[in-house]
Structure 1
Amino acid sequence: MSTNSAKIKKLTQLALLSAILFIMGFTPLGSIPFGGPIVATLAQIPVVIGAILMGTGAGAFLGAVFGFVSFLWFTMYAPPVAFVFSPFYSVNLAQGDALKAVWFAMCSLIICFVPRILIGIVSSKLYQKIYDKTGSVGKAAAVAGVCGSLTNTLLVLLGILVFFAEPYAAANGNQVIWAILGTSILVNGIPEAIVTPLITVAVVKPMKKIQDKAK
């Protein structure tokens, strides 16, 4: 395959996965309800798949797209915890203090983008390292899926704990922050860490075969 053709193919794949992220972000297709409060978000999956199939740079880009979709969603729909992901709401926590407003805005952007970008980086690096050791696409993709998903969950929750513990607790009825975060891990983080590797392996294994044949 020529260099130009390879670039066009990669750009097309990035555009497709980016479109999927937008669809997941603004439709019910972006989550799987397991009953009650237990819901698995799926938006991290295109990031993990793209990182495995196209490398670290593509994974980081798709993670940034994921972050941008989150930024748009929380800005547009403004749930009570919108300040976590949107600087347009976190600045209100500063109560007129300009320096605090800048700080809170930066914190929102960090939580919104950094964990999502790191999904792609962690997934790509882990996949390659495990594949080099085992030669198994399935095992490498599964581990990358689990760790990519947990990267997002744990870093977002860490960001909330470090930057927005008090307002986040207040937005959740003044519950104890550790109880809120623990519940998030149980009802979101664990289901996502189970679903992500299953779908990732199912997609990556046949796609890797196609990639190998095209070389």
Structure 2
Amino acid sequence: MNTTNNTSKLVILGLMTGILLLMAYTPLGYLNIGPLAITFNVIPVAIAAITLGPAGGAAIGAVFGMTSFLQCIGIGGSSAMGAMLFSINPFLAFVQRFVPRMLDGLLLGYIFQFVRRRTDAYMASLVTGFCSAFLNTVFFMTALVVLFGNTEYMQGLIGGKNIILFVCGFVGINAVCEMVSSTILTGAVGAALYRAKFVPALEKSRG
């Protein structure tokens, strides 16, 4: 039984890794609407957290973080901001790109388990999907401001604004669209996987 369960987890882990890499390195992971670029790459991280728990979420989050960092050096795409941050401090650029995504996946596993004990799988998946995009944005922007906020590059972007106003203006409607899409898609996929028994059943807590 344990062997079958472990095999199933490895299959899901490999599948989510493959899907994330496909989305990260093809237009499938992004929806470009005029100047907007909305990413769906947070969704495989959420699905991994739902099906595999905190460790699985962290693993796929780490894959997401690595693909994001590699774009700083032009591998699998390019990021103008990432390239600039890499030129300022390669190590801090790695931390800023990698750690928030891995931490996001780790926490999503706990969030799903916590909510699942108090409601059904569909609602727990919806909450996890929302948190996937929300926490990704919060952690990414927090790391950006903390690690690079005093650099000339970031000071130029901030332009003397209040830091909260800068963050809200910087992420803009992109973050809102990502949260909506991640919530809806993760909710649907998570509920389907639960019905297919790919999600471990949890007993609701009493009292």
TM-score class normalised by the smaller sequence? 0.7 to 0.9
The corresponding residue for 1:98 is none
May I ask how many residue pairs the two structures share in their alignment? 195
Matched, 1:147 2:131: yes
TM-score normalized with structure 2 length: 0.84
In structure 1, C-alpha distance between the alignment counterparts of 2:115 and 2:200, rounded to whole Å:
23
Query: Match for residue 54 of structure 1?
Result: 52
Q: 1:82: which partner in 2?
A: 82
Partner Cα distance (2:198, 2:34) in 1? 43
Match of 1:158 in 2: 142
Using the TM superposition, give the Cα deviation of residue 157 of structure 1 relative to its aligned residue in structure 2, in angstroms.
0.8
Query: C-alpha distance in 2, partners of 1:213/1:9?
Result: 11
- Corresponding residue of 2:5: 6
Other-structure match for 1:100 = none
Equivalent residue, structure 2, for 1:97: none
Matched, 1:208 2:207: no
| TM-score, length-scaled by structure 1 | 0.81
Equivalent in the alignment of 1:167? 153
- After superposition, the Cα gap between the structure-2 partners of 1:213 and 1:59, relative to the gap in structure 1 and judged at 3 Å, is closer
- Aligned in 2, Cα 1:61/1:79: closer, same or farther, shift over 3 Å? closer
Q: Is residue 193 of structure 1 aligned with residue 185 of structure 2? A: no
Counterpart of 1:123 in structure 2 is 108
| 1:186 aligned partner, one-letter code | G
Distance (whole Å) between structure 2 residues aligned to residue 48 and residue 190 of structure 1: 17
Q: Quick check: 186-195 or 41-50, which moved more?
A: 186-195
Kindly provide the amino acid, as one letter, of the partner of residue 108 in structure 2: S
Q: Equivalents in 2 of 1:41, 1:127: separation in Å?
A: 21
Where in structure 1 are there 5+ consecutive unaligned residues?
94-103
Distance 2:10 2:155 in 1: 42
Tell me how far 1:185 sits from its aligned partner: 2.4
Matched, 1:182 2:168: yes
State the identity as a percent. Answer: 27
Structure 1 pair 45–129 and aligned structure 2 pair: CA distance change class (3 A): same
| Residues 72 and 106 (structure 1), Cα distance of their counterparts in 2 relative to 1, 3 Å cut | closer
What is the deviation of 1:45? 0.4
The aligned residue for residue 70 of structure 2 is 72
Instruction: Note the residue ranges of structure 2 that are not aligned, 5 or more in a row.
Output: 202-207
- Answer 1 or 2: which has greater helix percent: 1
Change beyond 3 A, Cα 1:63–1:79: closer
Alpha-carbon deviation of 1:52? 0.5
Contact 1:131 1:137 in 2 (8 A): yes
Matching residue of 1:28? 27
Q: Alpha carbons of 1:25 and 1:176: their partners in 2 closer, same or farther (altered >3 Å)?
A: farther
